[in-house]
Amino acid sequence: MERHTQPWGRNIFGQSAVVCVRVLRIGLIAFGFAFILNSPPAGAQEFSDSPGEDAFLILQTNLQPPYQQLQDGILKGYSITVLNCAFDRIGLGYGIAIAPRQRNREMVRNGQADGFFLARISPFMDEYADPTLPLALEKWVWISAAGQQGSFASIPAPDSLLSVAAILGSNEAEWLAEQGYHEIAKVPLITSLISQVLAGRVEYALVDKQTFEAARDDMGHHEAQFKIQFERYAPLVIYFGREYTRRNPDLIGALNTALRTCETLPMRLEDWERDLITRQQLPMIRTMAGDPNLIAAVRSALGTADVRAGALADLDREWRRDSERGVASAKAGEILENSLSGILRSFQKGDAENIAEIFVFNTKGAVIGMNRLTSDFDQSDEPKFKVVIRQDPDLSQIADIYFDGSTRTFLSQVTVPVVDPETGNVIAAMTVGLDVSGALRPDS
């Protein structure tokens, strides 16, 4: 196949008519069609010297307030801002076509569209498409009417006789079907779903919390009218069709690199979540940090962890560069083999449902032990570093939730001091990445 040598950010306006004809020919006027073109800014960074001939792409999407919505005919929202940032950084022009969610997925599956967003990570889509890092993070909750009999002592089970609903074609409806919920009432709009819950026609509905709250407030309802129970977190990504990624094999890697700099905002822990971690997880983490075997291994690692002045930044750059490619730098490989890392791996395996990662860093911020490769070596520029510099053995930090692309899990990092029992001094700090989808469930 002949390959063009022009950059990804080529002039898109000469192709826009062709693209529009193609989109219209396959019939995307189901409920009103919108097509948006974005051209890269002058001087945008290019990530490939020889991109595929079809690098310019069309992404299918659907309206999903507040993440993306039409305002005066312009598609806006948080996910669009992140998307524009990422594509501008790699210098790639693209178009967006709006159609129903189910139609979008089918078009990607059939090779009629290059990609689709916002999509949850799905084993079914993995069969024919490849995901990026998330553009947005959702928190799914069960809602019911406040006056309804019964309680949320347990989340509605697939074999329950309770009526369950979701928005037609939504990520939540797909997930419910995958979990074995057979009788799912599928309602076309979030406003209709809320009305049916309040009217008692549906006992439980699974929705994104932010989408629900925005619609509830627009409808003039009060939060006291509903019961809410957390179910899970869901990353929302772009899925690129396998045919497109075959022709443009470097795109997802370049886009993911850009997405790391167009960072998805952390999902803030709510008060009940922070309280649950404090009561149920923090005591366990402090116990691990005080384990005599761990403290002995920390002392040993500290003895070999001296880094000459000015070398920390160099080692960190090398570490980050190699980590982005999924490999360990020389320093990282050395640390992965020490006894402290072995102890941390055994801790993680002992509670794998709740813990995704554990690492220890010294009073200079340098990682000295880890159960798996971390994204960076130097922790001194992060808020967690205060746990060692304040020398307070009772101090801890519970960070907001972020998505870890390497494990496809949502993590909240909990950091506690490692205290030398002989001197009472803080000699290091241990960070535990809690998989909040497991650790924060009510039945965890």
> How long is the chain?
444
Token pair, residue 50, equals 């020889």
How far apart, in whole angstroms, are the C-alpha atoms of residue 73 and residue 126?
33
How far apart, in whole angstroms, are the C-alpha atoms of residue 340 and residue 293?
9
How far apart, in whole angstroms, are the C-alpha atoms of residue 145 and residue 326?
47
Q: Looking at the DSSP assignment, which residues form a beta bridge with residue 36?
A: 96
Query: Is residue 19 within 8 Å of residue 36, measured between CB atoms?
Result: no
The two beta strands, 129-131 and 355-362, are unpaired
How far apart, in whole angstroms, are the C-alpha atoms of residue 223 and residue 192?
17
Residues of the chain with pLDDT under 50: 1-35, 41-53, 151-152, 444
Question: Quick one: pLDDT at residue 404?
Answer: 78
Q: 13-135+235-261 has which CATH code?
A: 3.40.190.10
How far apart, in whole angstroms, are the C-alpha atoms of residue 294 and residue 71?
56
Give the Å distances, CA to CA, from 311 to 338, 366, 371.
Answer: 21, 11, 24
Query: Is residue 414 within 8 Å of residue 429, measured between CB atoms?
Result: no
Question: Quick one: pLDDT at residue 134?
Answer: 84
Number of helices (H), then strands (E), belonging to the chain: the values are 16, 17
pTM of structure: 0.70
Q: Looking at the DSSP assignment, which residues form a beta bridge with residue 168?
A: none
Token pair, residue 327, equals 């490999």
Question: Quick one: pLDDT at residue 47?
Answer: 46
Query: Is residue 289 within 8 Å of residue 417, measured between CB atoms?
Result: yes
Could you tell me where in the chain the CATH 3.30.450.20 domains are found? 271-439
How far apart, in whole angstroms, are the C-alpha atoms of residue 59 and residue 64?
15
414 phi, psi to nearest 5 deg: -110, 120
Question: Quick one: pLDDT at residue 420?
Answer: 95
In CATH terms, the fold of domain 271-439 is Beta-Lactamase (3.30.450)
Q: Is 138-234 CATH 3.40.190.10?
A: yes
Could you tell me where in the chain the CATH 3.40.190.10 domains are found? 13-135+235-261, 138-234
Amino acid found at 444? S
Amino acid found at 21? V
**Of 268, 113, 91, 100, residue with least CA distance to 170:** 100
